[in-house]
Structure 1
């Protein structure tokens, strides 16, 4: 998938590929021209991705090749064991979780999972969890607490599933209970937004000691399209809505709603899974080390204080 703002870059990359092919097929030395074009491509990439609009970052967060929760888990863990079911209704495929080791330390990993193709997207419900998904997540958090293992959550959802059956099974109650219980977890909790962070569907697994966002992600009470449809009765104003919502990682950090930003490879996380996974792993280990120095009581108090201060103005 090619995003509109990437078109000039792709055109230059195609031109570079043609020049390299020409260099192989002929005896003409165009090494200098190739080098100049390569430098121009790097320069254009830096200029483009450093000056993305908020809507463009939303588009990038939804890139179909972008790494999802299981991509990160399998890349950074040695022996991930997925656990299933909420012990009440069923196993929600939109929410995944289980134990995995990172450099000898066992973690409980939990996150929303999207699909790569039509069949997978239907199976994963496009990353929109039902109440049983949030109840499964809470069950796994409580299990991690029982065995004194840190928790890492990966947030990537357009929202909790808004269907009638979800409401009938208590969608609001399930998310609200997660919020309440996560504040009181005795183990370190690290939350990372890896794609879309929309509404209560994201917040339901995002109450943590450390809340981090990847560089090209968004976090907001509502998506730009939905905001546009409510305010202007049309999706045509989604770009203006994105600007007004101030939903990027930079905006969130400036408003003290998150604790840090994880830089992505030039061009986005989908361009280099190993590089972005290594950066995520580094941040997880760093945060774990910092949080391990604090007592359980201090971690819980600071967690509650952090979220209590959000939105308060003098």
Structure 2
């Protein structure tokens, strides 16, 4: 019998869609509240009022605000992000070129953080109170208190400027066409991605560890753990198959928040390391008041977070058989 209620799933889809509409409305209001527009940067002293009016008409800024809002809501829900006024290319072209770079960097950081963190937290919860637990827990809290940009600058100073082991800027080296091969490009990317990835993972794993540790400690006293031990199962089997599986439920929820912070942190990390991804693009678009790019970047982020939140609810039913999706 399925543990997923079709009716409840439909309700969650409706709520997710309404949440997206609210976020889009807030996004529209906030961006339109910024002083000036991108038209200001296109206007020259020699331009006549008629030319300025045609420019505003070309980009739809002469329309009433309510009309701009309706167009924005319809276009973005259908994937029509328009054309960038500063880049003079379709917004989708920029996103398709930039988004994979961000996914490569922060997707790898997310996987490392939410592999190492829960594993460390699982063992710390199992060994809670030991010297090993106290040392790793204190060290993790110290790392977690460090600002990401400060850690990044420290690693740049150490591994690039002093030791010259790793690259701290851009995504690939500049090499001639005759030197370019897939293997050379892959090696260059790995050489450049190592330092920003290390900076992300250095702090990122601690958050999931801090959630997993008390969760693991709580389940060690549950009846099903005592029952598993009474059956004569090995300590490793009890730890991995019975205790850790149920302790992962709070971590799954925290992972959604962690994903949001990872993508949000792309603005800082990509700026520090000059990584040509969505975060770097977003900063440039905000300063240039490029409405289409800014709106598209935040819109895609909202879609991703809302979708992941829905997927998490479904994942609960596989992590804990007692949970019925849509049950009481």
Q: Same fold (TM over 0.5)?
A: no
Larger RCO (CA within 8 A; separation ≥ 6): 2
| TM-score (normalizing by structure 2) | 0.28
| TM-score (normalizing by structure 1) | 0.29
Higher strand share: 1
